[in-house]
Amino acid sequence: MTKEKFITFHPETGELQCHGEWNIANLAKIKKAFEAITWSKKEKITINGHAITKMDSAGAFFLTKWMTNLSGKNLKVHFADFSEENKNLLKFSEQQKSHEDIPEVKELSWLQKLGKDFLQQLDEAYQFINFIGQLFFESLRVLHKPKLWRWNTINSIIDKAGASALPIITLLSFMIGVVITYQMGNELRKYGANIFIVNLIGFSILREFGPLLTAIMIAGRTGSAFTAQLGLMKVNREIDAINIMGITSAELLILPRLLGLFIVLPLLTIWADIFGVLGGMLMAQNILSITAHEFILRFQHEIPLRALLIGLGKAPVFALIIASIGCFQGIGVRGSSESVGAHTTKSVVLAIFFIIVVDGTFSILLSHFKL
């Protein structure tokens, strides 16, 4: 576009000529032109709108605003030669109370923020304990009313969190088996202790990697889904709708999720154990020349059932952690899409954090009891 001039000022007559399109697209340029004007000492300024081809309410708003500012500087301003339509616009802008101060948002100092955060965390911990307590009493209430056991929901949780997770769990645990054998195998070979790979794989996969990786995977996959689902239901007030019908959200939504995951996570863990060991076995054959037959014979002999049971025993605990944190965060969503995002992130991070903390605690306790 060629450089348009929207305003010409004739200092000798005190006339301000407006031209062109005074609409929102040109306002930035118009403002610049306006600020470039040096006002003469003339007391009277006539604004001529004859040459304005188009004007919108934003244009009119700023014109009146600037004019009011000029009036404040002891200049007399009046409009001339505006079309009927534009006059209406200007009149309308004048009538509007246009400027009021926006109330300020108080900024907190860092100390205040720290204190606020601390109290919030404390409050959240309190809420969580409350939530768990409520769930406990709810489950007692539901326990002797089989009608309230939501088998349909539980089934669908088992399907979505369990059956559909099988492929990814397969791949993941298989790869872990391969990787561990690969790294350990190289070291073992130096000492000619190839066959001990069976012990390493057996203990590490069954006791630690199987349950831990499955739980972390499910925390990312299902825990986040729980939070997003419940969070959106909360935003849409679906949860309120459930609550006023004399159905508790715990009984309808949370307990089935808890129970579903409780059932399915140990099963997924066994699945992960199988494929982790298979991955190790395959690698052992490749780089350590241990045949599958040898591997299995030694596996039976060396790995006690205890290893499997300890690993499986952790899975339900992890399931409870994932489901309760996922649901708790979902219920805690407030009002906005941003809140759904924040709570989903929190749900996954907290779940993984507590899974690892609990896993560490287990290791310490078990070694204390020489298991």
Q: Which stretch binds other proteins (CB under 8 A): 118-126, 200-208, 306-314, 328-336?
A: 328-336
Residue 4 contacts other proteins per CB under 8 A: no
Count of positions on this chain that bind other proteins (CB under 8 A): 32
Instruction: Convert residues 244-263 into a mask of x (bound to other proteins by CB under 8 A) and - (unbound).
Output: --------------------
Q: How far is the CB of 28 from other proteins (least distance, A)?
A: 5
In one-letter notation, the amino acid at residue 50 is H
Contact 217, 291 (CB under 8 A): no
Residue 108 contacts other proteins per CB under 8 A: no
Name residues whose C-beta falls within 8 Å of residue 243's C-beta, 6 or more positions apart in sequence: 249
C-alpha–C-alpha distance, residues 223 and 323, integer Å: 6
Give whichever of 64 and 248 is closer to other proteins, judged by the CB atom. 64
Give whichever of 175 and 342 is closer to other proteins, judged by the CB atom. 342
Contact 257, 158 (CB under 8 A): no
Give whichever of 92 and 151 is closer to other proteins, judged by the CB atom. 92
Provide the CA 333 distance to its chain's centre, in angstroms: 11
Residues 194-253 that bind other proteins (CB under 8 A): 235
Q: What are phi and psi of 55, to 5 degrees?
A: -145, 140
Q: How far is the CB of 228 from other proteins (least distance, A)?
A: 15
Contact 185, 284 (CB under 8 A): yes
Contact 154, 260 (CB under 8 A): yes
Q: How far is the CB of 165 from other proteins (least distance, A)?
A: 31
Residue 5 contacts other proteins per CB under 8 A: no
Tallying the residues shown for the chain, one arrives at 371
Q: Which stretch binds other proteins (CB under 8 A): 94-102, 129-137, 194-202, 279-287?
A: 94-102
Q: How far is the CB of 25 from other proteins (least distance, A)?
A: 7
Residues 14-53 that bind other proteins (CB under 8 A): 23-25, 27-28, 31
Look up residue 99 and give its DSSP letter.
-
Residue 335 contacts other proteins per CB under 8 A: yes
Contact 54, 23 (CB under 8 A): yes
C-alpha–C-alpha distance, residues 199 and 196, integer Å: 5
Name residues whose C-beta falls within 8 Å of residue 130's C-beta, 6 or more positions apart in sequence: none
Q: How far is the CB of 34 from other proteins (least distance, A)?
A: 11
Q: How far is the CB of 127 from other proteins (least distance, A)?
A: 19
C-alpha–C-alpha distance, residues 171 and 184, integer Å: 20
Residues contributing to the site for other proteins (CB under 8 A): 23-25, 27-28, 31, 56-58, 61-62, 65, 85, 88-89, 92, 96-103, 105, 235, 334-339
